[in-house]
Amino acid sequence: MWSMQHSFGGFDRCRGCDHPRPRYNGGYASVRSSLGTMLSMARYTGCEVCSILSEGILNFLSDESCGISRDDVDQLQIDFNLAGSRRSLEVRVLNTPIRLCFFASESTPWLTETMPDLPVGREVPQTTSSEESLSWAIQQLEACKQSHKNCNSDSASPLPSRVLDVFAEGDSGVRLHESQEGETAPYIALSHCWGHKPFLRTLSGSLDAHRSAIVWARLPQTFRDAIEFSRKLGIRYLWIDSLCIIQDDEHDWRREAARMASIYQNAALVISAARSHGAYGGLYADLPAKHKIHTVKHTPGASRHRSRCPTPSDDDENNTSINEEEEEPSPTETIHLRQSLTHPYRLLSPYHAAPSTLPVFTRGWILQERFLSRRILHFGPEELSFECLESSTCQCTTPITTPGTTGGGVQVQEGAPAWYKNMLDRTARPKYYYAFTTWQDWSRSGMSETELWVCWRRLVEDYTRLRLTFEKDVFPAIAGMAQLMGKVRQGQRYVAGLWEDSLVRGDLLWHVQLPPTGNDDEEEEEGWEKTWMVRPAKWRAPSWSFASVKAPVEFMNSEEGFEPECEVVDDGKEDGPQPWNLIDLDILDGGFLKNLWADDDCESLVAAGGEQPRVYCLIVARKLPQREVICLVLARVQQDGHLPVSQEHEHLYRRIGLLEIWGAPSTYVNSVGWAWLQDLRGKGEDAMVRIV
């Protein structure tokens, strides 16, 4: 007889479902299984969890609207506690888009003991335009106003230069209101995708007409829905960028763009048209039939099933027999499942995080609209979601709140380092992680500067995964976030999307995110490569900046930080009035190697000869606590007209890559400390290197 359990961490766990799981402690797990295996384990070992999961999957497959048949289902992946920060239990049907979320309407002692990762969930309304959805939104807004200190201001909110008055006189009840100096009032701001189809905007020629009235019939559906929703909340003023900024006036656009941070920060609420690809898509959506809830009724102990999977305490030494002792059946437990809903934040492990598929979260400009605001209400394709500086929640589940408050706050295993909790916050509560109040708290609490440095790099990583219609917007689209970070990092210069004080301590150490591996679709991989290898059509940033490429980037990371091996030389230029101005960069005292190569066995590193080497390596930093060295790979700049005229120079270099040397070569195995690095530096020369 073959064993149907496997031992892990002192327990014999079921091969079908990986239970018994430890009591909820923030742990993440993902296991491969199959429907056949779970059915066998439920039948032959009495595994209660396999019984529940397999019955739920079969119930789902019996519904013709599910889109797949029993024959399509073989391999499964069970994901427990995906973010490591709150309960979740999802089953993915591999090789299909199906992801099933299991939940209970209430927690019971038996469920807590037997399925510790099972979350408490809710049924969602059939449409986001329902009175029930409106009531839910108002409830979240009022709860935030009454109990969240970080989300409320002691002073009244100043109005932007122009806002829509949605309670104006006239047939449409909408007109453009030009605010007086110092005028204050609550207002709502709209965040949405513009799309490709032209829609109503305020131009120089239509400004006077819009001051009098805006014709309702000319408004796209998203604007109409936002106006009506503002009226339902009783808030008179609404800010929409295309109507409140004169679109053909460059001076007005620049002035208002510079105020973008304060516009979203001061809004009482930001409405996010998350599901819509353009201005005509509207806010609201009906719940698709595929998200129908299926129910499993399970009686613990019935049919000679044991109350949980075998553990080492069971009498049978092989843990394969069925407990013969008759047990009195327990009260019936109710477990639900449905296809997972689309969330603006996904409860994924930081190591398995994926960007949201909602249209609004693919656009570069909308990143700061989301993170600058105090509160934002997302109108998704199935439900509403609410984010503020202290909580994140949606209609289908319970809130994720800051530590010390009520609700399902982010929790981590006892003794987990601070950097791990920050990673969880970035995934499960990005609005809290990227909030100015959070950055202020870090600064005031004396937290290491490294945390702030890393936070900005994570923001850049998230930002570079998004799309911009105009390449030139790469810095303006995060200028608001840079302004806030600048208030915390006072006295530090913002240079081409990075920060001067941390350039050689990690900011320069980015690389293009590698394409996915293990993909059977060769065309998809080829398409990815074409995307991530592209540079902007027109020069927009020096090569040491992430903005010099049109691709997702990742920064090298070190828990202990980096020890610089070079320094930045001030170029003597004064910063302009805008924080996204571009400058070039001087680096001094770098280990400048004419050429660098390793033999096949990596026994030694040498500086290769040659009068005109093709590449150069500049030692930037040592990675702590490991004995690793990181270099920039440089190439001489050719006078090809690609750079601005002001940067044309005989001895300029362009960054073309990143090199990481993982410790000393074998010939230095007995060397003391960093002696091998000093020897390596001696093979080159110290020099001032201008990288453009």
pLDDT of residue 403: 47
Residue 131 lies in a domain: no
Q: Which of the residue ranges 40-54, 60-74, 582-596 has the most confident prediction, judged by mean pLDDT?
A: 40-54
In Å, how far are 541, 545, 636, 648, 651 from 641, measured between CA atoms?
14, 19, 14, 8, 15
pLDDT of residue 298: 92
Residue 490 lies in a domain: no
CB atoms within 10 A of CB 101: 21
Segment 176-217, tens digit of pLDDT = 999 999 899 999 999 999 988 999 999 999 999 999 999 999
Residue 544 lies in a domain: yes
Q: Are residues 267 and 395 in the same domain?
A: yes
Residue 235 lies in a domain: yes
pLDDT of residue 13: 81
Q: Are residues 34 and 107 in the same domain?
A: yes
pLDDT of residue 411: 53
Q: Are residues 525 and 423 in the same domain?
A: no
In the structure, what pLDDT confidence band is assigned to residue 352 with cuts at 50, 70 and 90? very low
What is the percent of the chain where pLDDT is above 70?
72
pLDDT of residue 83: 55
CB atoms within 10 A of CB 417: 10
Lowest average pLDDT, out of 50-59, 220-229, 576-585, 678-687, goes to: 576-585
For residue 157, pLDDT beyond 70 = yes
Identify the domain boundary among 435, 464, 493.
464
Q: Are residues 165 and 223 in the same domain?
A: yes
Whole-number average pLDDT of the chain: 78
Q: What is the token pair recorded at 377?
A: 């209400």
CB atoms within 10 A of CB 391: 26
pLDDT of residue 306: 44
Q: Are residues 460 and 357 in the same domain?
A: yes
Three-state secondary structure of 21-78: CCCCCCCCEEEEEEHHHHHHHHHHCCCHHHHHHHHHHHHHHCCHHHCCCHHHCCEEEE
Segment 159-175, tens digit of pLDDT = 999 999 999 988 889 99
Q: Are residues 598 and 614 in the same domain?
A: yes
Contact at 8 Å (CB) between 337 and 293? Answer: yes
What pTM value is reported for the model? 0.82
Segment 487-531, tens digit of pLDDT = 888 888 888 899 988 888 889 999 998 765 444 444 444 544 555
Q: Are residues 239 and 304 in the same domain?
A: no
- How many helices (H) and strands (E) would you count in the chain? 17, 30
Domains identified in the chain, total number: 3
Q: Are residues 92 and 46 in the same domain?
A: yes
For residue 47, pLDDT beyond 70 = yes
Beta bridge partners of 476: none
Could you give the maximum distance between any two Cα atoms of the chain, in Å? 88
For residue 5, pLDDT beyond 50 = no
pLDDT of residue 620: 86
Q: Are residues 452 and 582 in the same domain?
A: no
Q: Are residues 55 and 141 in the same domain?
A: no
Q: Are residues 25 and 56 in the same domain?
A: yes
Identify the domain boundary among 310, 340, 370.
340
Q: Which of the residue ranges 479-483, 583-587, 664-668 has the most confident prediction, judged by mean pLDDT?
A: 479-483
Q: Are residues 658 and 511 in the same domain?
A: yes
Segment 217-268, tens digit of pLDDT = 999 999 999 999 999 999 999 999 999 999 999 899 888 888 888 999 999 9
DSSP structure string for 301-327: TGGG--SS---TTSSSTTS-SPP-S--
Say whether 502 sits in a helix, a strand or coil. Answer: helix
For residue 4, pLDDT beyond 60 = no
Residue 480 lies in a domain: no
Residue 14 lies in a domain: yes
pLDDT of residue 52: 94
Cα torsion 353, 359, 361, 366 to 10°: value is: 170
Residue 234 lies in a domain: yes
Contact at 8 Å (CB) between 618 and 585? Answer: no
> For residue 596, what are the domain limits?
502-691
Segment 534-566, tens digit of pLDDT = 788 888 888 889 999 988 999 988 766 788 888
Residue 413 makes CB contacts below 8 A (sequence gap 6+) with: 25, 26, 27, 84
Identify the domain boundary among 340, 374, 408.
340
Segment 617-660, tens digit of pLDDT = 888 888 876 678 888 888 877 654 455 444 444 567 888 888 88
Residue 311 lies in a domain: yes
Burial group, residue 477, by CB count within 10 angstroms (0-12, 13-18, 19+): buried
